[in-house]
Structure 1
Amino acid sequence: MRVLLVHGLLNANWWLLPLARKLRSEGFDPAVFGYASVLHGPERAIPALAQRLCREPVAAIVGHSLGGLIALEALRQAPDAQVTRVVCLGSPLRGSATARTLAAHGWGRPMLGRSAGLLQAGLSEWNGPAQVGVVAGDVARGMGRLFARFDGDSDGTVGLEETRLPGIADHCIVHSSHTGLVFSADAAAQAAAFLRDGRFKALLPEGEGKS
């Protein structure tokens, strides 16, 4: 299965290489979509991704953080794409409190660049044909703790409630920070499960299944 990986804000293609290796070991054929998240942002990335999805036989997408939002918006513009499943890793699908705080201060706006609008607003729902699953982290270690207060648990940058979008097919939580989701073996395994079956693996309570 051809899977396209989409990175998040302030990242580049190489950032996704560990995730690509893990998915390749699970039998997938990963490729990477890169874009200038600050300089050009979604305005160029979304149509460019939509065009690529129409040109190539891509069956699924895995997007980290902003990459998940870019992926879903590209699929809105490419309704005939062959993508059947999307996994969002720590994506603030309902908008990011961290981004809104940064945007409210002059010193924080350059960090968001042209991606500020999409990160702040997020989406209202998902009603496209592709199944969407979200893997969220619960280790509150990240820059978001310096700029935003979250209602409930977070991965340090994105609140768990910010990842719960009406219309998604499944949602799971792994023990990881926001940045760590790209490197997490558990996150990769859950992504692989959803790409195959359209649902995440049930996690055993701590202590069960061990001898």
Structure 2
Amino acid sequence: MSRPRVVLLHGLWMHAPAMHWFASRLRGHGFDVAPIGYFSVLESTTSAVSRIMRALDERPGTHLVGHSLGGLLALQAATRSQPGRVVCLGSPLAGSRAADGVASRVPAGRSLIGQHHELLFQGAGALPAGIEVGMIAGTLPRGLGGVIARLPGPHDGTVAVEETRVPGLAGHVVVEASHSGLIFCREAADHAACFLRAGRFEETAALTAIA
């Protein structure tokens, strides 16, 4: 019996190897995991989404897990293709105040945000119909984004928890992790595995990975 396939997508200013630990954790849960890289600053949203869609077309029903910008790109691909379930890690589905702050207050900030600035500013919009989408948000406020943008309420240093909430989510959980720390958080990985299997999160302690 084939293992369920998961495509992993990194966030802004990262590359595919950044998802290595998270991939290993999901493999421990029995998934066939394939991190996909894209040029998070130089590549257009259209080009990156097309890259994801090709991976989905190769194996229908493939799940998507995206960190930050990667989650937004995953949802863009899901509106045009037919993935399994989608898990977002700290993705600003309601738009990113931090990205807006960098672009408007930091010298050459718009160049630092790159080709995906519009997607980051606007967020996901309506979630794709018929696709179960889960969100894992962080609450450890370590990061310059929180200083630049003065994020409201709980946040992970880059994205506020309220920025991760939009209508239509099948599940939403929070973990004690910073924005970059989400991809190294055991609880986040275990929650993701749970959602990929069942379309819902366990609200209790992290699950134990299969050895």
* One-letter amino acid of the structure 2 residue matched with residue 12 of structure 1: H
- Please, which runs of 5 or more residues in structure 1 have no aligned partner? 205-211
Q: 1:199 aligns to what?
A: 200
Contact 1:16 1:182 in 2 (8 A): yes
Let me know the Cα RMSD of the aligned residues: 1.3
Q: 1:18 aligns to what?
A: 21
Match of 1:59 among 55, 59, 62: 62
Q: 2:99 aligns to what?
A: 99
The Cα shift of 1:59 comes to 2.4
The Cα shift of 1:123 comes to 2.1
CA displacement 1:147-193 (0-9 Å, x = unmatched): 11122110000000000011110000001000000000000010011
Task: Report the TM-score, using the length of structure 1 for normalisation.
Answer: 0.91
Which deviates more, 122-131 or 135-144?
122-131
Contact 1:131 1:168 in 2 (8 A): yes
d(CA) in 1 for partners of 2:113, 2:16: 18
* One-letter amino acid of the structure 2 residue matched with residue 88 of structure 1: C
How many residues are paired up? 201
d(CA) in 1 for partners of 2:94, 2:20: 27
Q: 2:46 aligns to what?
A: 43
> Aligned runs of 1:82-121 on 2, under 5 Å?
83-105=83-105, 106-121=107-122
Q: 1:73 aligns to what?
A: 76
Q: 1:180 aligns to what?
A: 181
Q: 1:122 aligns to what?
A: 123
Segments of 4+ in structure 1 off by > 6 A? none
Task: Report the TM-score, using the length of structure 2 for normalisation.
Answer: 0.91
Q: 2:208 aligns to what?
A: none
The Cα shift of 1:144 comes to 0.6
